[in-house]
Amino acid sequence: MEQLDDQGGIDALIACAGGLGAGTALETTDDAWAAALRANLDTAFVGARACLPGLIKRNGSIVCVGSISSLAAASAMCGYTTAKHALLGLVKSLARDYGPSGVRVNAVCPGWVRTPMADEEMQPLMQCYGCSLDDAYQRVCADVPLRRAASAEEIASVCAFLASPAAAIITGAVLVADGGSSIVDVPTLVFDRL
């Protein structure tokens, strides 16, 4: 942190780390549980705590990258879903505690994002259906209103907005950037296929 201060300080922290946490509660070992919390929650907390003194000096901003799994539960993702839900609690706690010091804290919750990690998650679909990577993304995004996954650059732009002066009045907010997947009324999808 001293090096950052020597370079003029820090204006924003974008806490974007994640992964790990697959399995139901009965399938999740203590080590896997701890790893999911470490990767998806502890990294944001430790980063925020380290940066807060500098952010307070500069009226800075923290943006934590959650997931649509911060808002709903995916099947057999107990550790990941729990950690991503807790991340929103961290965002709200930090926003409440450090807002009076001029620090804004918000979350971005993306849906599918085309990344190498997401590409790996598509492998079972590709094997099951004998389809290409693009076809696998089309399958998982078929019921997403925008019918596609986000690019990493699109999510970075949302983070940049929340960290910018254009969002100076926004704190404690959760901005969902999922192409509309979280607004879909899943039980009615069967009627879309009639």
pLDDT in tens, 110-132: 999 999 999 999 999 999 999 99
Mean pLDDT for all residues in the chain: 94
For the chain, the domain total comes to 2
36 and 95 fall within a common domain: yes
Q: Which of 80, 98, 129, 137 is catalytic?
A: 80
5 has a pLDDT exceeding 70: no
Do residue 82 and residue 107 come from a single domain? yes
- Does 1 reside within a domain? no
Task: Provide the residue range defining the domain that includes 25.
Answer: 11-111+151-176
Does residue 97 share a domain with residue 53? yes
Q: Is 129 a catalytic residue?
A: no
Whether pTM exceeds 0.85: yes
3-class SS string, the chain: CHHHHHCCCCCEEEECCCCCCCECCCCCCHHHHHHHHHHHHHHHHHHHHHHHHHHHHHCCEEEEECCHHHCCCCCCEHHHHHHHHHHHHHHHHHHHHHHHHCCEEEEEEECCEECHHHHHHCHHHHHHHCCCHHHHHHHHCCCCCCCCCEEHHHHHHHHHHHHCHHHCCCCCCEEEECCCHHHCCHHHHHHHCC
Q: Are residues 120 and 107 in the same domain?
A: no
Task: For residue 78, report the phi and psi dihedrals to the nearest 5 degrees.
Answer: -55, -50
pLDDT of the residue at 78: 96
Q: What is the mean pLDDT of residues 11-22?
A: 91
Burial (CB count <10 Å: 0-12, 13-18, 19+), residue 133: middle
CATH code, domain carrying 98:
3.40.50.720
Q: How confident is the model at residue 77 (pLDDT cuts 50, 70, 90)?
A: very high
In a domain, 74, yes or no: yes
Residues 76 and 168 reside in one and the same domain? yes
Banded model confidence at residue 7, pLDDT cuts 50, 70, 90: confident
Q: Do 21 and 86 belong together in one domain?
A: yes
pLDDT band at 1 (very low <50, low <70, confident <90, very high): low
